[in-house]
Amino acid sequence: MPSFYIRHRTHYIYSGLVIDSANQIKLYPAHDTYQRVNEQHIQISMNPPISTVRDYFGNLTGFFTLLVPHKELVIDSLLAVEIFSNLGLQKRDSATDVWKLINTPENQLLHHDFLKAEEAKCQIEVQDAIHEILGKVQHPLDTILELSEYIYDNFTYKKGVTNIETSVDELWNLRAGVCQDFAHLLLYMLRLMGIPGRYISGYICPGSSEWRGEGATHAWAEAWLPDTGWVGIDPTNKCLAGERHVRLATGRNFSDCTPVKGNYKGAVEHKLEVTVQFGTKAFTEEQLANPSPTFISGATVAEGVPRNSYIAYMQMQQQQ
């Protein structure tokens, strides 16, 4: 059971003073049979109190507000976590029985939140692409793994060509994106087949072999099957989620799982720096004092919004 130390630092820099900064954080890893959080400390600029609640999907969610004028905001999460692999999936029921159970009214109703596929012009093309895979008589998990491999082989891992609002249609035409896009597309395929699928945000920790997206925030999908329960599939790396995947939050899509988001008042531009560090032992003071940003967003202005207005639902985290 591997253990990891993870630091996730969000540094928000404003071009002038801002006030009334209200924020939501989903930076609390799942603590369950397959993942144990041994320690976590979250430090925020000016030390505001953090109120926490469980959201609709069971994610521990924190809320805090900074009322006084400030020119920067730092949210620094340090945690130690152990991963217990959920890859013991050899014991499966027959393919025919599992497909029948997936499509029963009871199961469809139980997982209705994770079954609605978005409307997309490319639906017929996507269905054609997966038709041959679906035509095989095999367990649904094998079908899903083939779909994951299809995404891996046919879509280029490329940063900067998509954003959090990129649709399935845009992704299908671009044939390129990052982990959040590949998870988005796999979920779309699952839901077209009637298989419940949910979005997972988290981290992919460095290991002995190099994976796409490692050493940063990450995203993948989970599919629900009657005989295995929820199973994580990472289409960015065409593999099952395992001992290097740390789960932060679960939801229907990215917006349900955003690690950090908020809003504020102030007529200013902003810059975002995100640092994610990993280790197999506790960080030294020197490592913590000299972070190297994993992601940097240049100064931006909310498009079409007067600069003296209230900036609503400002995205403050970018999946890698």
Instruction: Report the alpha-carbon distance of residue 24 to residue 263 in Å, rounded.
Output: 9
b/e per residue, 131-154, with b = 16+ CB within 10 A? Answer: eebeeeeebbbebbbbbbebbbee
- Phi and psi (nearest 5°) for 86? -110, 50
Q: Quick one: 75 and 138 in the same domain? A: no
Q: Is residue 200 part of a domain?
A: yes
pLDDT over threshold 90, residue 213: no
151: containing domain? 95-253
Q: Is residue 196 part of a domain?
A: yes
Quick: pLDDT tens for 139-185: 999 999 999 999 999 999 998 899 888 999 999 999 999 999 999 99
Is the distance from CB of 287 to CB of 19 less than 8 angstroms?
no
Is the distance from CB of 127 to CB of 170 less than 8 angstroms?
no
Residue 234: which of 171, 157, 160, 166 has the closest Cα?
A: 157
**Last residue in a domain, options 253, 278, 303:** 253
pLDDT over threshold 60, residue 318: no
Q: Quick one: 237 and 115 in the same domain? A: yes
Q: Is residue 88 part of a domain?
A: no
DSSP 56: T
Q: Is residue 180 part of a domain?
A: yes
Q: Quick one: 102 and 212 in the same domain? A: yes
Q: Is residue 279 part of a domain?
A: yes
pLDDT over threshold 50, residue 302: no
CATH number of the domain bearing residue 216: 3.10.620.30
- Residue 197's pLDDT band, with cuts at 50, 70 and 90, is very high
Centroid of chain to Cα 267: 30
Q: Is residue 90 part of a domain?
A: no
Quick: pLDDT tens for 121-133: 999 999 999 988 8
**Last residue in a domain, options 202, 223, 253:** 253
Quick: pLDDT tens for 222-278: 999 999 999 999 999 999 998 899 999 999 999 999 999 999 998 678 899 999 999
Q: Is residue 49 part of a domain?
A: yes
Q: Quick one: 77 and 30 in the same domain? A: yes
Q: Quick one: 237 and 276 in the same domain? A: no
Q: Quick one: 119 and 133 in the same domain? A: yes
Q: Is residue 320 part of a domain?
A: no
pTM of the model: 0.90
Domain total for the chain?
2
**Last residue in a domain, options 204, 227, 253:** 253
Q: Where do the H-state alpha helices sit in the chain?
A: 95-102, 105-110, 123-134, 140-154, 168-174, 179-192, 254-257, 285-289
% of residues, the chain, pLDDT over 70: 91
C-alpha distances (whole Å) from 83 to each of 33, 37, 242, 279 are: 9, 9, 8, 14
Quick: pLDDT tens for 28-64: 999 998 899 999 999 999 999 999 999 999 999 999 9
C-alpha distances (whole Å) from 256 to each of 55, 177, 219 are: 9, 20, 12
Instruction: Report the alpha-carbon distance of residue 235 to residue 238 in Å, rounded.
Output: 4
Quick: pLDDT tens for 60-119: 999 999 999 999 999 999 999 999 876 656 678 899 999 999 999 999 999 999 999 999
